[in-house]
Amino acid sequence: MADKYLILYFTGTGNSRYVAEKVAEKLDCKRINLNTEIKNNGTPSVDTEGVVLIAPTYAWRIPRIVQEWIKKTDFSQAKKVWFVLTCGSEIGNASLYNQRLCRSLGCAYMGTAQIIMPENYIAMFDAPDKNTARDIIKKAEPVIQRAAQAIAAGEKLPAEKDSLYYRLLSSVVNPLFYTFSVKAKAFTVDDRCIGCGKCAEKCPLKNIHLVDRKPVWGKSCTHCMACICYCPVEAVEYGQKSKGKPRYHLEGLDL
């Protein structure tokens, strides 16, 4: 018997993957890692009526690379799409753009759930320490379960609150963020680098290559923070903005 649902997830430092695992437990369905699909230029056909897209919010909307992947993938058999978005504080007016995306796919929009998870965007903010991160995830658990239960029942997710502030974040700040902030040139590596290649391995855009066992960044970047947060010796920096800041990835919490 074919699965009723399919989970598509994209993750930078593990938050959305964790949520995808929890939702999959409730739905008992297949998950597709979009990091791998994007990295390998894969576009598998979506052969289920229900699709659950789980991703972080980048500047209060789903990541552009995720939206681009969706638009070139066959969604003709999908009838309903639910969105579950992780964030450090709020998702802004992301739901409006999710609705528009569903219209372009010819699918019914089934709502957007906001899941507050530990902050990882250390190019701008501070990541929490491990104990604080564990507390944040503990508080997120019932929110994840409520979203999973609604999806399992075929129900729409409750509408997120709307405001002019949220609209400005998603409509005005988002394009400015991609124009002025999403660049790889500020990433550097210092003498602590051990040449392990973890940064290149984690990059979903294959934007990092090792030269003489040191990472070199290209021009493609989505600011997922995987390269800097997964470095085992914290040798990667983002200009001066990451200096002295704790790194965060979910596996480091030993949940």
Burial class (CB in 10 A: 0-12, 13-18, 19+), 30: middle
Which CATH code of 1.10.260.40, 3.40.50.2000, 3.30.1240.10, 3.30.70.20 fits the domain covering 187-250?
3.30.70.20
CATH topology match: 5-178 vs 187-250: no
Q: Which two tokens stand for residue 177?
A: 């963020």
Q: What's the confidence (pLDDT) of residue 162?
A: 87
Cα distance between residue 16 and residue 87, in whole Å: 9
The model's pTM is 0.96
* Phi and psi, residue 51, nearest 5°: -125, 135
CATH topology of domain 5-178: Rossmann fold (3.40.50)
Q: Which residues of the chain have pLDDT under 50?
A: 1
Q: pLDDT of 161-173, one tens digit each?
A: 889 999 999 999 9
Counting every residue written for the chain, the total comes to 255
Q: What's the confidence (pLDDT) of residue 1?
A: 43
Closest-CA residue to 8 (of 88, 93, 101)? 101
Q: What's the confidence (pLDDT) of residue 2?
A: 57
Question: Domain coordinates of the chain in residue numbers?
Answer: 5-178, 187-250
Cα distance between residue 251 and residue 255, in whole Å: 8
Q: What's the confidence (pLDDT) of residue 138?
A: 98
Cα distance between residue 255 and residue 253, in whole Å: 5
